[in-house]
Amino acid sequence: MTDATPAPAPAPAPAEPASTPTGAGPSPSTTPADIAAAGLETLAANKKWRSDFDGASGRPAQLAAAKLKSEVTRSAFNPEADTNPAQPESVESAQGAVTQAAAEAMAPGQDPSEYSFKWENSADFEIGELQNMSEVAKQAAFDVGANPHFARATIEAMDRQLSKEGSYTPTNSDALDDHLHSQLGDKADATLQGALATFEKMPPEAQAWLQNSLSRLDTSTAAWAVQRLAAINRANSA
């Protein structure tokens, strides 16, 4: 494992976004559309949200589920916009259901066995090495209190981008910090602190992997990963 550039600790997709950096082309980066797609994937994995969205729990719950879906998309394209503006009275009854669905979408796993990951180029790894990677990732996700679907979307998106290493310019601490401040403004420092809080809960092996991975990602994807870590901290601090 190579030395990692100590990017501002691991480091929102605000509500529940999860992006899937495609990295196509000579300069791949994570786009808001990627973040929205991965966020919707995580949301769709929530059984209660699917039931509500399909109308099984009544119209108010269906409206709430639809609103949460819209929020996931909106937050990917405008992360720091006011997510709680004054709401028309007709929508207020749905707010509790929205909050509940959002919380359930970020509910942590109860055991490391609930987490699973697929790795790019897994055929290139020895069985023992692949098993160790998965066990480290499972334990880390459990230790930080990540939702299993959220953790899988995050790690697999990072892994896919790393499989394209060499087709983009890796980030560094200054570039990552500048990107976060440009994207989040005065929320950047709080995001970094939240990501650091998540990072510090990881076992040493996972910390080493994360630092190494962040230093090898492009700046946009690394910033996205940092925001995902911060989102885990926010969910567990609520």
What does the mean pLDDT of the chain come to? 76
Cα separation, 205 vs 135, in Å, equals: 10
User: pLDDT for 198-212, tens place per residue?
Assistant: 999 999 999 999 999
Residue 34 has what pLDDT? 62
Nearest Cα neighbor of 191 from 10, 6, 4, 5 is: 10
Largest CA distance in the chain: 59
Q: Which tokens sit at 113?
A: 């066995």
Residue 46 has what pLDDT? 75
Phi, psi of 216 (to 5 degrees): -100, -10
Three-class SS of 146-174: CCHHHHHHHHHHHHHHHCCCCCCCCCCHH
Evaluate whether 178 touches 192 at the Cβ level (below 8 Å): no
Q: Answer yes or no: is pLDDT of 231 > 80.
A: yes
Q: Answer yes or no: is pLDDT of 153 > 50.
A: yes
Residue 31 has what pLDDT? 59
Cα separation, 221 vs 238, in Å, equals: 26
Q: Which tokens sit at 216?
A: 């090898």
Cα separation, 136 vs 204, in Å, equals: 9
Residue 95 has what pLDDT? 45
Cα separation, 182 vs 125, in Å, equals: 38
Whole-model pTM over 0.85: no
What average pLDDT does this structure show over 166-173?
A: 93
- Residue ranges of the domains in the chain? 32-237
Cα separation, 105 vs 87, in Å, equals: 23
Nearest Cα neighbor of 224 from 36, 46, 69 is: 36
Beta strand segments in the chain, E? none
Q: ∠ CA 26-30-33 to the nearest 5 degrees?
A: 120
Give 116 or 24, the one with higher predicted confidence: 116
Residue 126 has what pLDDT? 63
Maximum mean pLDDT: which of 2-16, 92-106, 131-145: 131-145
What average pLDDT does this structure show over 106-125?
A: 83
Cα separation, 150 vs 228, in Å, equals: 9
Give 121 or 206, the one with higher predicted confidence: 206
H helix or E strand, kind and range, residue 234: helix 219-237
Residue listed under structure tokens 């399909």: 54
